[in-house]
Structure 1
Amino acid sequence: FQFDHIDRLDIIENKIDMHEIILAERCGEIIGYLKLEYIWSKLPYISLIILKPEFRGRGIGTLMLNYLIEFLQLNGYETLLSSSQVNEAEPQMWHRKKGFVECGIINGINEDGVGEVFFKLNLVI
């Protein structure tokens, strides 16, 4: 499985240990992952959720998200951010279904001038 812009195994292992990469595995094979980053070193942001096509729509992304939410809540975080390209209706529906609310758009930030819509999830129980 190719990790987004990360080539060194030691960096990947460190990010897994720090809960910045959450792996989805099946029978020892990596089938997807969630990548977490921190804006201003304190605001958690899901920068990528990816699954092999044959495993999409089976609740695996939701399992990774739920694991992340529990980890963040246990560590005192109150908000989680995520985003999707403005032309990706399905990921936007997924975010809304999971309780995220739209909180802003950056126009023209992606390739071909495509904008990015941002979502926020309240983690306070």
Structure 2
Amino acid sequence: MVEVARAGRADIDWLVREDASSGEAWVSRCVALGEYLLAWQAGEIVGFLRFSRFWGRVPYMEMIRVLPEHRRSGVGTALFLAWEEAMRGDGARLLMTSSECDESRPQDWHCRNGFCETGAIELPGLQSVPEVFFVKRIA
């Protein structure tokens, strides 16, 4: 059984290690703002979802990661559904996410979870391929 809860200060070391590209300052900031959800199984953290708000309003799923040995077991879906419900509870009507255009598995996952492609942008110097954006209406 997967349990999902907001991350707390006690989870920062784990998040810094597992969300390594973010760095401790950013992880701490996101934890303080309640922008991490953690998935737990048998008393251990097995995944996380990090989000923010696009334009300060639209919930934007920045990263979802499940530890390799727990993938394809419903952990990612549990994280996503908990986030969607929390955002709906906050009054959101639309969700956003994205992936690089050459990442077919994440794009398939987004589509299976109700997202539709809405456009792409190129970020020269930051990424070698365009970023594809997805939206999902929840209201």
**Residue 80 (str. 1) matches residue 98 (str. 2):** no
1:13 is displaced (CA, Å) by 3.8
Paired amino acid for 1:106: I
| TM-score (structure 1 length as normaliser) | 0.86
CA RMSD in angstroms comes to 1.8
1:11 aligns with 2:20: no
CA displacement, residues 44-103 of structure 1 (integer Å, 9 cap, x when unaligned): 100000111111111111111110111111111000000111111111011101110000
Match of 2:6 in 1: none
Structure 2 Cα separation of the partners of residues 26 and 101 of structure 1? 30
Following TM superposition, the consecutive aligned residue runs of length 4 or more in structure 1 with deviations greater than 4 angstroms are: none
Q: Distance in 1 between matches of 2:95 and 2:113?
A: 12
**Change in CA separation of 1:36 and 1:12 when aligned onto 2, cut-off 3 Å:** closer
Q: Cα offset for 1:106?
A: 1.1
Amino acid at match of 2:135: K
Unaligned runs of 5+ in 2: 1-13
Opposite residue 49 of structure 1, the aligned amino acid is I
